[in-house]
Amino acid sequence: MADSSTPAVQIEGLTKVFRLPLRKEKVVAIDNLSLQVGAGEVYGLIGPNGSGKSTTMKVLLGLISPNAGRASIFGLDSGDTASRGSVGFLPENPYFYKYLTGSETLAFYGKLCGLSRKEIRSRSDELLEMVDLTGARNRRLGGYSKGMLQRIGLAQALVGDPRLVVLDEPTAGVDPSGSRKIRDLVLELKRRGITVILSSHLLEQVQEVCDEVGIIFNGRLVREGKLNDLVAIEDQTEIVLQNATPQLLDGIAGLVEREDCAQLLSCGHPRTTLERLFLQEINEESKTGGQDT
Amino acid sequence: MDSEAYSTELSRQHKAFSPSRVWAIAGNTFTQLVRMKVFYFLLIFSALIIGANLLFLSFTFEQELKILKDVSFGAMSLFASIFAIVGTALLIPKDMEDRTLYTILTKPVPRFEYLLGKLMGILLLIGVSILLMSLLFFTVLYIRQHGILAEKIASLPRHASETDIESFRESIFSRGLQPELLLGVIAVFLKAAVAAGVALFVSTFASSTLFTIIVSLVVYFIGHAQSLALDYYFTQGELHSAGQRFLAGLVGVVFPNFQLFNVTDGLTAGEVIPASLMARLVGLTAFYLTIYSLVSWMVFAKKEL
Ligand SMILES: Nc1ncnc2c1ncn2[C@@H]1O[C@H](COP(=O)(O)OP(=O)(O)OP(=O)(O)O)[C@@H](O)[C@H]1O
Ligand SMILES: [Mg+2]
């Protein structure tokens, strides 16, 4: 077993070119991409559609082989099946066997991870509870909604008790409260010391959960770093006051004016986001009404 | 909690080959096919053999029993081979298309185990369906042979001796439920298993259900005629050069000689199937399945998913 100093993920000079069959055209999906994710970190891969996020993940998981460069997981090369021993993966728009029920699905993937019958039982109870599918565990996946499929996919990724979890757009198609739950889950994984790589178009969420982000564009990593360093605006300070009188605000504005170097940029009521408002409403509804599933 | 952490730590030791993973995939394949309600075909099968039986009631009992056996074996072989080809073609390309394969291969599952598991699942399905069909077939045969005997006894004059009845029983039952029929059942299974191997190989590069079915069926039909073609080719030209032999071998591998497996025609006509032929069929099946699994793996191992 690799020691704690081995990075969870190491990608060096990775290049992937897709040749379109029967045509001369080539698509450079990843272009000399290098990145490293330390054990226990939450890494966010963001970028526009078609920038190569999913392709990078597929190479990392050995589903496709790179044209150049290498990728490894906890020191084991991605081409080696053993590297998948401690990984959980949720593909984008996951699709499972629709003839299986929720718990049968987890049992199947549990067996593939080499879990015993007893481990499978306790693990699936725990995971179904975690992704809120206990009520639907005996229903076939053919009848699951998109959000439910996404959540069973998440449970499937975690069934083998992985040390690295790769999530490709885990919140796609999930409603705001569900996606909030997925965010909490990622934070919980992080608390347990599990490394997470995720891609998402919901930048607000990425900002909330990730320690480190990589911005990928046209297959190249254009910006990478600790999230705090990337988003902090060093020369600005925010003050939020409650029940401030107009006189107090005038006073503060006056104080700032007297300083030569500082400037008051904005003053007003902070806005809640639409997402927060929606969640608040939903939460109140579910408290007064029945439970949400 | 501690003990659990310990045990999962243990289970993380990656095994290069794990029968339990193969079995999990095989079981899953079988469940999936069963839940697609494939076993409804048994109704068609029963209707077919009972219908054939009713249609030929007016024939002599020898003819009636032979037709019952011919129709049953024919239907069994047809259904088993269709299951082998369509089942394989339906599931493997679908896994690729739906990208369900991503979730399987990103578990510590070597690609070879996936193929093997699928093949085993299909063989399990063929085995179980042949078993159920034989049970139906044998039951009908049993009922008919006793029915025919009862009719014979009823039509005999009152003073017929025990020995007369005994000789009737002998001649009817010898054309009825005999242990040799099991050899025919085994041959039907072996043939379908080879067809499944063909479909497995085709589906690894085809990645479309329709294409897999069509190509496999073409191979299946050519396989029935290949010995004829080879015989013709080699008795025409006198030369038995190394090149020709190589070509014949190649044709033999690409198009398995399915005709060889059709022992049931001789069987229902009362011929004896020598043990050596059965041994040869088993050996051939093992050979084809090994070859097809290996080349499937060679294609699939490098496949971009
Ligand atoms: N199998 C393939 N064959 C040909 N081109 C491909 C293949 N897979 C991906 N590509 C191309 O590679 C590029 C990167 O695709 P990728 O799916 O990695 O993007 P992405 O960042 O995940 O986008 P999205 O945000 O839409 O999920 C795209 O231009 C895509 O068309
Ligand atoms: Mg993508």
Q: Is residue B38 situated within a structural domain? A: yes
Find the Cα–Cα–Cα–Cα dihedral B195, B201, B204, B207, rounded to 10°: -50
Contact A197, A43 (CB under 8 A): yes
Q: Is B98 on the interface with A (CB under 8 A)?
A: yes
From the alpha carbon of A53, which atom of ligand 1 is closest? 21
Report the domain count for chain B. 1
Q: Is residue B1 situated within a structural domain? A: no
Q: Is residue B113 situated within a structural domain? A: yes
Using alpha carbons, select from A14, A9, A83, A79 the residue that is nearest to residue A40: A9
- Cα–Cα dist B194/B285, whole Å: 6
Q: pLDDT per position in chain A (293 positions), as tens?
A: 445 578 999 999 999 999 887 777 888 999 999 999 999 999 999 888 888 999 999 999 999 999 999 999 999 999 899 999 889 999 998 889 999 999 999 999 999 999 999 999 999 999 999 888 999 999 999 999 988 999 999 999 999 999 999 999 998 888 888 888 889 999 999 999 999 999 988 888 888 888 898 888 888 888 888 877 766 666 777 777 888 888 988 888 888 888 877 777 777 776 666 566 666 766 776 776 544 44
pLDDT digit string, tens, across residues B149-178: 888 888 877 777 788 888 888 888 888 888
Quick one: CA dihedral A44, A48, A49, A55, positive or negative? negative
Quick one: CA dihedral A116, A122, A125, A129, positive or negative? negative
- Cα–Cα dist B197/B203, whole Å: 10
Q: Is residue B175 situated within a structural domain? A: yes
Q: Is B97 on the interface with A (CB under 8 A)?
A: no
Q: Is residue B2 situated within a structural domain? A: no
Give me the interface pTM, i.e. the ipTM: 0.84
Q: Is residue B274 situated within a structural domain? A: yes
Name the residue among A89, A112, A161 with its Cβ closest to that of B21: A112
Provide DSSP, B47-72.
HHHHHHHHHTTTS-HHHHHHHHHHHH
Please report residues of B whose CB lies closer than 8 A to that of A114: 11-12, 15, 18, 20-21, 108
Using alpha carbons, select from A83, A8, A75, A2 the residue that is nearest to residue A39: A8
Q: Is residue B116 situated within a structural domain? A: yes
From the alpha carbon of A169, which atom of ligand 1 is closest? 27
Query: Which residue has the least CA distance to atom 2 on ligand 1?
Result: A18
Q: How far is B106 from chain A (nearest CA, A)?
A: 6
Q: Is residue B220 situated within a structural domain? A: yes
Q: Residues enclosing ligand 1, CB less than 6 A?
A: A 18, 27, 29, 47, 49-55, 92
The residue range of the domain holding B188 is 7-301
Using only C-alpha atoms, chain B has a radius of gyration, in whole angstroms, of: 24
Using alpha carbons, select from A212, A180, A181, A208 the residue that is nearest to residue A195: A212
